[in-house]
A and B are shown apart, each in its own frame.
Chain A
Amino acid sequence: MPLDTSSYSFALLRLDGRRWNELRRIHAQISTQAAADGSSYLEMGNTKVICTVAGPAEVRRTGGGSADAEVKVEIDIAGFSGVERKKRTKTDKRVAEMCYTIANAFSSSLLTHLYPRSTIQITLHVLSQDGSLLAACLNAATLALIDAGIPMTDYIVACTAGSTSTYSSNDETADPLLDLNGLEEMELPFLTVATLGAGEKVSVLVMETRIQIGRLESMLAVGVDGCKQVREILNEVVRKHGKKVVDSIIE
């Protein structure tokens, strides 16, 4: 058994050797599945997600449909993704909530009014879980939607932020933490924040653990700052991919 999160104060080092304000390594690729309209593969540390986008496609239902395109999200968490093999049912409440959160976020950032009576289907496959799952899903979906060429106002970028001590220890000097891994998420309070672009427009904010209100502000600030960093990284991935596409056309 390695050390736990209480060792942070010895040297201001986290369980995996990061400082409080460091992201894990983010690796991303675009257009990984040729068959999909848009696709991406994203790693945040050991959390690995594949995303495919289908659409916008016409709704086959009878009876009109709405004036805006509908964003549908489906998440499939692979049985082997966690430490223990677990079968998730279709009706898993946690997964349903994540789907809803993601769908909601993108319905407002995508220019859905351009595609009336159609759906945009986002499918996420979680290959490996090690914390910040919702954030990774949001980031992967952003990349895949860009790959699919669906117009949007800006990237939705997300990351998690936590605090170095638990709610009950009530430590006022606790440092905020950026981008928690799975172990930290189990022990510490944390939130997931997503912003629209590099500004401070928060589009998703999810928090399920208790924390003193006084500590929330610094956590949120660190989270928003993290989102800015994530946007830089994703932007670079997009530009690189774009350059490659342009180059191949010129050739």
Chain B
Amino acid sequence: MTSLKRTTAGDPHGANISSKVFVRSTKSGKVQKIVRELYLRQDIPCSSTLCSLCLSNAPADANGAASESPQRLRNVPVVPFVLSDRPAGTKTFPNGHYLVPDTNVLLNGMDLFEQASAFYDVIILQTVLEELRNRSIPLYNRLVGLTRSGEKRFYIFFNDFRLETYVARDPGETINDRNDRAVRRAVKWYGEHLQQAVKAAGRARRCPSIVMLSNDKDNLRKARKEKLEACSLHDYVSGLPEADRLLDMINEIREEQGSRTAHGTLFYPEYFTQSKMMTGMKAGTLHQGLFNVSPYNYLEGSVHVPAFENALIVLGRENMNRAVQGDAVVVEVLPKDQWKAPSSKIIEEEVLNRNENADADEQEAVITEQEQKALVEEAKKTQGRSIGGHPQPTAKVVGVVKRNWRQYVGHVDTTSVSLSTNEGRRQQTVFLIPMDKRIPKIRIRTRQARELLGKRVLVTIDSWDRDSRYPVGHFVRSLGELETKEAETEALLLEHDVQYRPFPKAVLDCLPKEGHDWKVPANKNEPGWKGRRDLRDLLVCSIDPPNCQDIDDALHARPLPNGNFEVGVHIADVTHFVKPNNAMDSEASGRGTTVYLVDKRIDMLPMLLGTDLCSLKPYVERFAFSAIWEMTPDADVVDAVFTKSVIRSREAFSYEQAQRRIDDASQKDPLTIGVRTLLMLSKKLRKKRMDAGALNLASPEVKVQIENETSDPVDVEVKRQLDTNSLVEEFMLLANISVAGKIYGAFPQTAMLRRHGAPPASNFQELQNQLKVKRGLELRTESSKALADSLDTCVDMNEPFFNTLIRIMATRCMMSAEYFCSGTQSYSEYRHYGLASEIYTHFTSPIRRYADIVAHRQLAAAIDYEQLDSSLHSKGNLESLCKNINARHRNAQMAGRASIEYYVGQALKGQIVEEEGYVMKVFSNGFVVFVPRFGIESLVRLRDLAVPEPEATFDGENYVLKTTGSRTETIVLFEKVLVRISDQKEESTGKRKIRLELVRSGGLS
């Protein structure tokens, strides 16, 4: 028998092969042992432009080797060398330096590395990159982005693959110690290697120092012993210009972690271990969901979990246990005797905890006395069980699966800043109050406290430990003075995660070279004409809001000899310019949608396309994607054709212009007749849709009039609905529905569709009850048709606005519509509830929505115009795309609303108006009033009514709040009230907001 046993010593390659063994546990709790090979090599370059040795044996990719390309001959490596030959230096390192950060430095100071003023020529070691990826995927992505952009000369050095720098883990050595050792080894090698390189060059070049950045004292000590340049991030930044500003951006708390926990009081219970949560969830005793904070009461959170129909309520700080809005948390349901009804009280953080000292943590309990009192009062009421309906299950947070922390905008709490003059620029701890009321105060340490007062400030949360009442964060940058347009606009863009930076060069490079001179080619043999129908002789026109620049859609109608009509919807052919997978496409898919603010538009596509080349402007030829139907005079669709086309719009109407043209009987030209035909058909289409159960919902939409020069708001008006608005809408809906059917037919698994789920009956419970109690009306919600019909019956003869009010409130009970990939749902789930359509997609606004671009590509493939890009064949790809554009879409809407809110506030600045409003919601210590004239709703608190705060009795069953004492009023749900509107700077968020004061209940009369 021959023995198979052998030693690696005999193997000629033995020295170059190592293996990595590690143990990991899978999601299901299994433990796996993974063995991977490592091939150690010596041709991994140092990437310094000083070094000629590495340059000569830089690696080649397949193309470089396959064809001796000119690139290879000129000795330019495929992966360019990035580290500068004259790196910047500091006082300590006059010869210039390359930085080598360890993982902790990156975790604590990623914001610093993104600064433009310093941190160039950075070597990221593979060891560090892998560790960073384990610790934080977002930070890893930011680092990769920084590296790929090339601007900051970051280089990833694969030290674990290079023979000289590879470090095997010693028996008994912790993985952290091994990684630290690997970093030190790499630093050492780099130092020696560069010395050699400089010597070999023979020129009198200064050799840059290799500086290891680490916050680990032990690591620093060992490095110094090995005669390496090493310093902590703090020390390094102190030596830079602008040190004060930069130092604020370090995540201090993580640095001090060890020392803090020793003496602090622990405010919060400990989180469960991973495995305990896992077992708990499997057993059904624990539940996972997204944590949401009530916008009215910062001490009440809710978590929706599949096991319960109603959301679980999380009450009080201790039960919330450091969860922040949006985090994925694991909760444990509390025993039944602690269940309670949702709050009927407004609790705002600013009121309760106004005078806290940011530094003093130790003396306080988790729940301040005032908070305690507020909670007890709440609890008392619940015991009676009569108020606000049935008790709901409550829960407490026992663990956080995933933090959803982002950067937050806010302002520094004035009371937390010590202003004594002799303190100079000493570091102090202050509170930052976020604009988003659902986010708790954030404690930050800063040296520039006084400069930051009255500014909009961007910060991030770093951690929230058990010994800290509030999360701890650090300063990122200042956006500018509070209430200046620039600062507030940027703040709301950041708050809603809108990407507003100018398009990078790579994106602009994708635009047609001709720029604004681009034209539809005159010669029909040009490739652009391939597969297109020439529809230039059709009388096409567009109808949009006034001054619309990005015209997505245009229409035409003409009679056919058989008595039917031909109707065409022509959509801008964006996909002709935006090809899949180029830089412009990925930028657009990242942005997802154009965001409309009152004074500003954040485009999804560069201006050149959006407002010129794609825009279906009048009198010029444009590429379009057309849907053409044959319709009977009763608006039944006989036939539908989709084709790429070339059109020439005859006119761009505003809604009002179009309306006037239609109404003017003297106009008899074919274009006007065409528009009249469209209007006639659209009314029939609308009727059919309504009969099928489409909902006519309302939202308070107002428009802010802006003075052109200064773009200061001058007035607010409620948007008007004209016939022509619904004309365009009807045909867009028709186009979307037809296209949805077509792409679903062609790609049953991967069509990009839009659905609107039926709202669960529980959403309407409250409103149903309110209507029954107050008006004796019945709201039926079993189907959209029933809902539409019963909404029509909700009228009050004396109060014409009542119906609209109910529609607004019903709208808020709805689910939000969402994009989805057809393969992820069953066909019955495709339904669009609001439009009462079986299937729906977005096709008609490709200039401003990415979903439409996808639909265009799929439709083009469905009609065999072009091949579908492979990325749209993949379900997983589409799913992540949908997830992104759904989120972007929601954010864009919220940003738009926030912008209107800001401008309404500005428009009313300094004015005091009395206006009628309606009571929308009644709490035990206040009520919400909606003012239709300005489309605003706001809270009126009892303590605003009179001083001292009047006594009040709250009848939750009848939605009546009676006040006695210092002022006597009776506030009843749905009733008219007269309010005085003034503006006020809200202390808690630093926003200028309108403030309502009750003049009297009962309206003008």
Contacts and interface: CB of A to CB of B under 8 A. Distances in A.
- Whether both chains belong to one complex is answered with yes
A20 B20 CA distance: 20
Given A83-B33, A167-B870, A16 B79 contact: no
Interface of A: 1-3, 7, 9-13, 15-22, 24-25, 27, 29, 31-32, 34, 41, 45-46, 83-84, 130, 167-171, 173, 175-176, 181, 183, 210, 212, 218, 222
Given A13-B158, A25-B37, A45-B37, 20 more contacts: A1-B24, A1-B133, A3-B126, A3-B129, A9-B79, A10-B156, A11-B157, A12-B61, A16-B38, A17-B40, A20-B62, A27-B11, A29-B4, A34-B2, A83-B34, A84-B32, A168-B877, A170-B580, A170-B871, A218-B62
Interface in B14-45: 17, 19-20, 24, 30, 32-41, 44-45
A170 B130 CA distance: 26
Contacts of A222: 62
A41 B156 CA distance: 39
Contacts of B61: 12, 20, 175
Nearest to A18: B39
Nearest to A128: B35
Nearest to A167: B870
A212 B62 contact: no
A88 to B, nearest CB: 18
A167 to B, nearest CB: 6
Interface residues on B, range: 35 or more
A25 B870 contact: no
A217 to B, nearest CB: 11
Nearest to B12: A25
21 contacts: A2-B130, A10-B147, A10-B158, A11-B45, A12-B78, A13-B161, A16-B37, A17-B38, A17-B160, A19-B59, A24-B39, A32-B4, A41-B4, A46-B36, A84-B30, A168-B873, A168-B874, A175-B61, A175-B63, A183-B36, A222-B62
A16 to B, nearest CB: 5
Nearest to A34: B1
Contacts of B874: 167-168
A50 to B, nearest CB: 9
A154 to B, nearest CB: 26
A130 B35 CA distance: 9
B203 interface: no
Interface in B146-165: 147, 156-158, 160-161
B336 interface: no
A13 B44 contact: yes
B947 interface: no
Decide if the interface of chain B is mainly helix, strand, loop or mixed.
mixed
A46 B18 CA distance: 12
A129 B580 CA distance: 38
A11 B59 contact: yes
B581 interface: yes
Decide if the interface of chain A is mainly helix, strand, loop or mixed.
loop
B32 A22 contact: no
A46 B35 contact: yes
A168 B580 CA distance: 11
Contacts of A183: 36
B547 interface: no
A175 B62 contact: yes
B13 interface: yes
A173 B69 CA distance: 15
A170 B2 contact: no
A46 B871 contact: no
Nearest to B30: A84
Interface string B151-186: 000001110110000000000000000000000000
B39 A176 contact: no
Contacts of A3: 126, 129-130, 133
B65 interface: yes
Contacts of B33: 83
A169 B130 CA distance: 23
B133 A170 contact: no
A168 B880 CA distance: 13
Contacts of A41: 4
Contacts of B62: 20-21, 175-176, 218, 222
Contacts of B869: 170
A11 B158 contact: yes
Contacts of A2: 20, 36, 130, 133
B129 A170 contact: no
Contacts of B157: 11
Interface in B128-145: 129-130, 133-134
Contact of A16 (B36, B65, B156, B871): B36
B156 A212 contact: no
B789 to A, nearest CB: 46
Nearest to B124: A10
A12 B59 contact: yes
Given A11-B44, A12-B78, A20-B62, A25 B17 contact: yes
Interface in B850-904: 869-871, 873-874, 876-877
Given A18-B39, A27-B11, A32-B2, A11 B156 contact: yes
Contacts of B44: 11, 13
A183 B24 CA distance: 15
Nearest to A182: B36
A130 B34 CA distance: 10
Contact of B158 (A17, A20, A25, A32): A17
Nearest to B17: A25
Contacts of A1: 24, 130, 133-134
A11 B156 CA distance: 8
Q: Which 9 A-B pairs have the closest CB atoms?
A: A17-B161, A17-B39, A168-B874, A175-B62, A12-B59, A10-B156, A168-B871, A16-B37, A170-B870
Given A12-B59, A17-B161, A29 B39 contact: no
Nearest to B43: A19
Contacts of A12: 59-61, 78-79
B41 A17 contact: yes
Interface string B37-81: 111110011000000000000011111011000000000001100
A130 to B, nearest CB: 8
B49 to A, nearest CB: 16
Nearest to A11: B158
A27 B61 CA distance: 27
Contact of B2 (A16, A29, A45, A176): A29
B700 to A, nearest CB: 43
Contacts of A171: 581
Q: Which one of B35, B36, B869 has the highest number of Cβ atoms from chain A below 10 Å of its Cβ?
A: B36
Contacts of A168: 870-871, 873-874, 876-877
Nearest to B58: A12
Contact of A212 (B4, B130, B580, B870): B870
Contacts of A175: 61-63
Contacts of A25: 11, 13, 17, 37
Contacts of B134: 1
Q: Which one of B24, B41, B580 has the highest number of Cβ atoms from chain A below 10 Å of its Cβ?
A: B41
Contact of A31 (B2, B580, B581): B2
Contacts of A13: 44, 59, 158, 161
Contacts of A11: 44-45, 59, 79, 156-158
A173 B130 CA distance: 25
A84 B34 CA distance: 10
B157 to A, nearest CB: 8
Contacts of A24: 37, 39
A2 B30 CA distance: 19
A18 B874 CA distance: 29
Nearest to B2: A32
Contact of B65 (A7, A21, A167, A210): A21
Q: Which one of B156, B157, B160 has the highest number of Cβ atoms from chain A below 10 Å of its Cβ?
A: B156
Contacts of A173: 63
Nearest to A83: B32
Contacts of B39: 16-18, 22, 24
A27 B8 CA distance: 11
Nearest to B22: A2
